[in-house]
Structure 1
Amino acid sequence: MPALRLDLGAAKEPLGLVRGLQWIFSIFAFATCGRYSGSVSFGVSCSGGPNVTVTAAFGYPFRLNRATFAPPLKDLCNGTWAADVHLVGDFAAAAQFFVAVAAAAFVYAAAALAVYLGCLGLYRAGAARLPMADFVATVVFSFLWLVSTSAWAKALTDVKVSVAAPLPGCRPPTTCSAAAVSPAGSLNVSVIFGFLNLLLWAAGSWFVYKETDLHRPPPPPPAAAPGAL
């Protein structure tokens, strides 16, 4: 049985190098999405009076329909709003799916990299099930990155539309004007990292495939000794 020993040379091979990049890029994917927080503000003027700025804070997991404005709109402008006003939309499913895939990819890439660095000989010597299981997992993660990033990109578009919409229920003589919306730059970057991860995992599947018996058939059995029955 091959000895278990640290071999940093595995990190220089495409198999280990791509897995290391997957590990790093998955961190960027869930950090740029999961740590986002922002706000949208409006200036409200009651019957030509001075502006009052109302702000609704929002962030991951982007349940905008739970975000209310402060100070409460129902307390302004003599009952123009009968109840608290919320932002529109619940995009938690897509956001949480994307972050969950990124977190799972981070854990798997770290574990696979540890195997490559610690027991690459065992990985390659006789244990054909290890490369095959690694290949299947890599293909599955490639598919998950495709689905989750596509869903999150669509949800992000809807988030931007929701926070850019006019303040609901504002009617004359009350006037409302958009004051500020937090930039979504890091969220745009999260989508970019999602598609980069898709490319990395798709490319990585090729290098893992080369380790399987599908690409490298097992050696033929030894020839029988002369004169053997």
Structure 2
Amino acid sequence: MKYDLSVFQEPRGVMRIFQFIFAICALYTTLNFEVTVTVVEKAHSNSSTFDYPFRFGQEVCLKSDNTTKLGLSADVSSDARFFVATSVLSVLYCIFITAVYTFIDEIYTSKPEVPLADFMLTTILAIFWLSGSAAWANGASALKQVTNPTLIKAQCPNLIQVVTSSFSRLNISLLFGFLNFFLWASDLWFLYKETYWFKERQPNVDGAGGSNLNAPNI
């Protein structure tokens, strides 16, 4: 099977490589993030770990009345799953479209419907990245609020110490999310230039206009 790698010297090919890499990074940092809450009481300590899809409910310590326990509960699974689904779809689309660029680029350049479909699908995924990143940012804020050591200790005065693990990886996943939106949105200009919408707006320099430039002055 013939293949042509010259497309990776063009912006549309280079952008797909970056989009693939950063979508993988967004997916990895989200799926591998977990938050651990450790509460230390006089007699013992207790650790609770919460990870993807971040839907949990667990009792961690006695409240001030010494009869009921404080439960940590949150459900941001829809936000996390939307973000992860966008990452997966982006990875799969990058693989598919780079295969099109590499093996059947002559169809891409000869059939106007194909670049148009590429442009529209990229637009949809750019919107998904913006929506998914905003939703995941809202979910991350809820996670931080629920596992806030100050709030936990305020409700359980018998605790000696409350330690919550770092949210740095979650923050990095959010950064990758918005960076992916920037990459996919920026790519729209290069893809637009491949569509007939752009090409039919370009002047025909070989036509009558070009001959007038060569005409002698009278």
Q: 2:138 aligns with which of 154, 167, 173?
A: 154
- Whether the 8 Å contact between 1:166 and 1:178 is mirrored in structure 2 is no
Q: Which amino acid aligns with 1:53?
A: S
Count of aligned positions: 201
CA distance in 2, matches of 1:141, 1:178: 44
Q: 1:109 aligns with which of 62, 83, 94?
A: 94
CA distance in 1, matches of 2:162, 2:101: 53
- Whether the 8 Å contact between 2:123 and 2:185 is mirrored in structure 1 is yes
Q: Judging by fraction of residues, say which structure has more strand.
A: 2
1:20 aligns with 17
Q: Give the TM-score taking structure 2 as reference length.
A: 0.84
Name stretches of at least 5 consecutive residues in structure 2 with no aligned partner. Answer: 205-218
Distance apart, 1:117 and its partner CA: 1.3
Q: Secondary structure at the match of 2:199?
A: coil
CA distance in 1, matches of 2:107, 2:199: 16
CA distance in 1, matches of 2:131, 2:36: 28
Q: 2:77 aligns with which of 77, 88, 92?
A: 92
Q: Kindly tell me: are residues 44 and 34 of structure 1, through their superposed partners in 2, closer, same or farther at Cα, counting changes over 3 Å?
A: same
1:201 aligns with 184
Identity of matched residues, %: 30
2:213 aligns with none
Q: Which amino acid aligns with 2:53?
A: P
Q: Give the TM-score taking structure 1 as reference length.
A: 0.80
Q: Which amino acid aligns with 1:154?
A: N
Distance apart, 1:82 and its partner CA: 4.1
Q: Which runs of 4+ in 1 moved over 3 A?
A: none
2:156 aligns with 170
Name stretches of at least 5 consecutive residues in structure 1 with no aligned partner. Answer: 46-50, 221-229
Give the alignment's Cα RMSD to 1 decimal. 2.5
1:139 aligns with 123
- Whether the 8 Å contact between 1:40 and 1:181 is mirrored in structure 2 is yes
1:159-197 superposed Cα distances (whole Å, 9 cap, x missing partner): 1111113158535xxx11333211111110000000110
Q: Which amino acid aligns with 1:28?
A: C
